[in-house]
Structure 1
Amino acid sequence: MLGALGLDERQEAAYRALVAAGAAELSDLAHRLSLPEADAERVLRRLEQQGLAAQSSARPGRWVAAPPGVALGALLIQQRHELEQAELASALLAAEYRAEASEPEVHDLVEVVTGSAAVAQRFHQLQLGAATEVCALVTGKPIAVTGLENESEERAASRGVAYRVVVEREVLSLPSGILELSAALSRDEQCRVVDRVPTKLVIADGTTAMVPLTGRGAEPAALVVHASGLLESLMGLFEAVWREAMPLRLGERDGSVREDGTGPDPTDLEILSLLLAGLTDASVAKQLELGLRTVQRRVKGLMELTGVSTRLQLGWHAYERGWVARSAQPGSPPSAQVAGVR
């Protein structure tokens, strides 16, 4: 919690222990922290330098905590000042970069990033720098960062950045595919599925995009595109894929039953969502850790509930009743996705 103020885990634990106790002997504090006394003393000396702790003048060897409201407040003010200085330096360096570039208009539009580490770093920077929305097209073959390694997504979503993600069907069959998508949906991200996406793509705030440049056997590379006609084209590509993609409903099973005793429960909706995304009964059963007969029984129950005789008709009724939905033009039938319920 206090890492942003420059405290490591040991220092934070020591300060919290001092605050809780009011004051403590070095030996007592070392015992509480499970540290050798020499290490505990080094931690306390560091807290002393930061104005968070001091030795008692009345009892040598006894340490007292500085009042959090005063001590931490001072560190916060110092941290804000340093951030403001860093922001100013960043702006000055950006201006200097543009001024020194031989072709500034080109450098401002695109940049080429090469190497797995550099691509991964730029990918994380793009998300962590987003303020409002991240849009992404995802394939089943990551270049530099896998879904489980993408910690920046969770951090950005936790501070209110909206995510709209379209994955290709292959992702659902990956060992961690359903787990990753369920986690994304639990963060209120919007996730959709198509048979194939035209390219990997991530766009932050509609101002910066990143697309791969990697060919077979080549070193990972990516193109970062800034505000330009090319960026607008990439945004148009994402929106076109998004409109045609099928929404996913996952991770809603909680043991609940149908509210009115007649509608689909969360498991039914998950099954419908995956079937509409193009998975077979066997694949759905495997991904949701259900028996094949359970999946088939539930699909049969939904068909009986809607009074239809084919799965194609079930798909239409799912849309009509709002069990699955996506934005579409009035009168435009979702034929491709409905046909996926086989």
Structure 2
Amino acid sequence: MLINLGLDAVAETVYRGMLAHPGDSLTELGSRLGIPEEDLRGALDKLSELALVRASSDEPSQVHAVNPHLGMEILLARQQAELAAQQQRVEASRAAAARLISEFAHEQSSHSNASVRYLEGVDAIRDYLAALNNQVDEEFLTFAPGGAQTPANMRASRPLNRRLLERGISMRTIYLDSIRRDQPSVEHAEWLTSHGAHVRTAPSLPNRMIICDRREAIIATDSDNTEVGAVAITSPGLISSLCALFESEWHSAQPLGATPAQQPGKLTPQQVTALHLLAQGATDESIAKKLGVSPRTARRIATGLLTHLNARSRFQAGVHAVQEGYLPSSPA
């Protein structure tokens, strides 16, 4: 009962026993309480340290328990002193934190202006998102390219997503179609939907992006390596354009639970996207990153397109794709 005042269970039992039976010797007390002599002496040392016992005035060889009214006042005063010391440490820490923030404020301003702020490295991005998480009021929109999600990203995002969804925030996320073949990523997406989020997939995405309440967006600075850094944008004009881009991609994306039916002789959305990339001269590695698949899978998709189009080369595949209506006859 008195653990919060610094008394453990054994010490409290001994103190209560001494108060109830002041005439007991230590041997009698230990026998009455069923406490071994070593534990009894340890408890007495603790009680002495807390000033709850002292040598008896009548018999110096005996130990006397301090009156409980005085004893509790001693413990409460001790705890109040510890709390005051802790408060002083908190105030000192707060002052030190304020000095640190002030010291590096110019570093942030050198990378930002009124509507754009640069975030360098994945840790800075995660810190910014954690702070932004508490400011979201209504909506959280996400482009999540890169294919299969890494365990680190899923672990880092789940607590933030849970808090948003528990607050009733509308969350919509678009992943790449390729996550449908990665079970951990599918399970993570299904976890999101089970908590109220809406998830769709698309053959490709332009970049990693998050939009909060249609008033702030975070975009990766390098679409090929999204952990390098990001920019946080608040310009209304840019935000409006990014929201329109998201809605366009959302409209054409497939809900997570849906399985797009492929018509015989037709190309899948992923194949169509790969075909456009091939026509632009993209390498297998570039196609792999865009589709969120391995280079080996990208080569297999390209080989399948050549077979489908009855072409012997990528150039010939482009010609046949135009002839069959898969690609426009001239650049848009």
Please report the TM-score for the alignment, with normalisation by the length of structure 1: 0.44
Q: Which has the larger radius of gyration?
A: 2
Please report the TM-score for the alignment, with normalisation by the length of structure 2: 0.46
